[in-house]
Amino acid sequence: MSVGSNPPKSVAEFITAESSKNLLRFIICDNVDDGKSTLIDRLFFDAEIDFSLLPVALNTERDQGITLDATYRYFSTDTRKFIVADTPDHQQYTRTMVPAASTADLAILLVDGRTGILNQTRRHAYLLSVMAIKHIVLVIEKIDLTDYSAEVFEAIDRDFKSFAEPLGFTTIKSIPTSALKGDKLIETSDKMEWYKGPALLPYLEKVEIASDGFNSFRFPVQSVKRVGSEIPGFSGTIRGGSVCLGDEVMVTSSLKKSRVADIVTIDGNLTRANTGDAVTLVLENEIDISRGDMLASPGDLPHSSDQFQARLIWMHDEALLIGRSYQLKIGTQISNVQITDIRHVINVNSLEHLAARVVETNEIATCNFSTSKPVFFDAYNDNRATGSFILIDRLTKATVGAGMIDFSLRRADNLSWQSFDTDASARASMKGQVPKILWFVGLSASGKSTIVDIIDRKLIARGVHTYILDGDNVRHGLNRDLGFTDADRVENIRRVAEVARLMADAGLVVLASFISPFIRERKLAREIAGDLDFHEVFVDTPLEICEARDPKGLYAKARSGDLANFTGISSPFEAPDDPDLCLPGADKSAEELADMVIEKFKL
């Protein structure tokens, strides 16, 4: 079939066409200048294949909201249909390779016969194993430039299989090729009589890709729409198993049941729909279901947890920090999430597990995650669609990481929220006050602690129950194990915010005085407070005035290089854009500023 002469209008149409043929999705990875473009062009030319570029991204990437730089081509031979992802070869393009690999059945790893296995080859191989790709074709290219050496081929084959042995690939097939000469792409070559295996395209046409064996019904709800005038339908793509008319289904969030009354598609109604089908399901009775819910078979539900372990591929230039809040998107579900522990980072050259406090660009780490609400998932090795997620920076909305869930943490399965009759309002009413958290932000020596001390004295004199949380004081006890790196500052604020919430829940007016240099963590502190009154107060004192005060001599030490990671000098301070109150620290006395706070928040 020459798809270029009569190209399908969509990926779905291509997959449906000639349905008797198996579909193979594969990805091609190489190092810089290993000859990938030459190989692809020569392969298509010699096979007289007229390919078409994909007009849209594949479902998984589109649903996950990732913008792709990979080139997708689809073509067909007499025996098989193919979709191939051609990903960039530079290391910084991990963010492109990962989503492309997430839908692939097989990967071609291209290696220059003159250089052999490089670090980038090992990196690609490890990434492919993390993405649960089980079938590898090691194409040893430019074999003509090694005089068609069997020894070179065998050495590269041996080196790669030795490295890849613990990665769990089902098949590794090594094929020597010369794209420039056309050797071993389509037919056998008389220049390599020592190689008795198939050429590249014949191998791809016949390689058997076993089913992943996951038969559990999974239907993440993408949207809710009306079918006809009254009946609600739930649209999405089936991500596991199949569903038939009359099947009983359950909503994973509410555990309510119904039966499938109709299966609607743009091409007509079905009696059965399978994995990968985009459908609208109509149920027999109306149930409260919204985007982000999942339908599954009763008795065969996905895991539900707010804590899990996952392997994370970090894609952003700014490092991942423990405790920082991100947005997690798993299928159609969205939740806030924090990394509570970095178990280890992987050295992809040696597969060694390394201790780490941060995860840098392109690093792969195993981490523990805690979400703001339970999410529904399967282990990635069981179901790649319902076991994968992306992380989104909550400030910039950029995709910063991609993850593959290993398992739910047992600690989460053993915990539940205990409800009590007495709440924050009852405790506060005993004290005759409204509990609040006033979060004072500003540079060192901006006057935060002085202002808070004055407010505290005035409130106590009026019988208000208060407590001060001060940056220096908590580091003598609660946070004595933390330093002043970005990661430690994030954790410092997270812990203090949790304590502030507990104190406000006890009915107190909490005065928290912390530099709080990062916007993301101040936002997290507000979210931790929940429905309790939380007010951000920015003590806006210019750096030069803070530095002139310098009561502890810290600015002088920072300027001389004797004090690292000092906010305002060697570590950034992200000033609030829209605080609840901005105090002009250079223009008024501490007494006047304290009175401004008391008046503003009616303390």
- Which amino acids are annotated catalytic? 516
403: its two tokens: 């993850």
Going from the C-alpha of 231 to that of each of 223, 224, 482, the distances in angstroms are 14, 10, 56
DSSP secondary structure, 550-599, as one string: -TTSHHHHHHHTSS-S-BTTTB-----SS-SEEEETTTS-HHHHHHHHHH
Taking alpha carbons only, the member of 258, 252, 253, 256 closest to residue 301 is 252
The answer to whether 326 and 371 are in contact (CB under 8 A) is: no
Strands (E), 131-267: 135-141, 171-176, 218-220, 223-227, 231-237, 242-244, 248-251, 257-265
Runs of H (alpha helix) within 141-288 = 150-164, 200-206
Contacting residues for 87 by C-beta, under 8 A, at least 6 apart = 27, 28, 29, 69, 70, 93, 96, 97, 100
Distance between CA 439 and CA 513 in Å, rounded? 6
E strands, 348-481, in order? 352-354, 358-359, 364-377, 388-392, 399-408, 436-441, 466-470
Separation in Å, CA 45 to CA 138, 173, 203: 21, 23, 17
Helix (H, G, I), strand (E, B) or coil at 165: helix
Which residue from 220, 179, 173 is spatially nearest to 332, judged by alpha carbons? Answer: 220
Q: 3-class SS at 341?
A: strand
CA pair distance 287, 221, nearest whole angstrom: 13
CA dist 274 and 218 (Å) reads 10
Give the contacts of 10 (CB within 8 A, at least 6 positions apart): 55, 56
**How far apart are the C-alpha atoms of 217 and 243, rounded to whole Å?**
7
Amino acid identity, position 340: T
Answer whether 330's CB lies under 8 Å from 384's CB. Answer: no
Q: What are phi and psi of 571, to 5 degrees?
A: -135, 140
DSSP string, 389-407: EEEE-TTT--EEEEEEEEE
Answer whether 339's CB lies under 8 Å from 298's CB.
no
Report the largest interatomic distance among the alpha carbons of the chain, rounded to a whole angstrom: 98
Q: Name, in order, each residue with C-beta under 8 angstroms of 422's C-beta and a sequence gap of 6 or more.
A: none
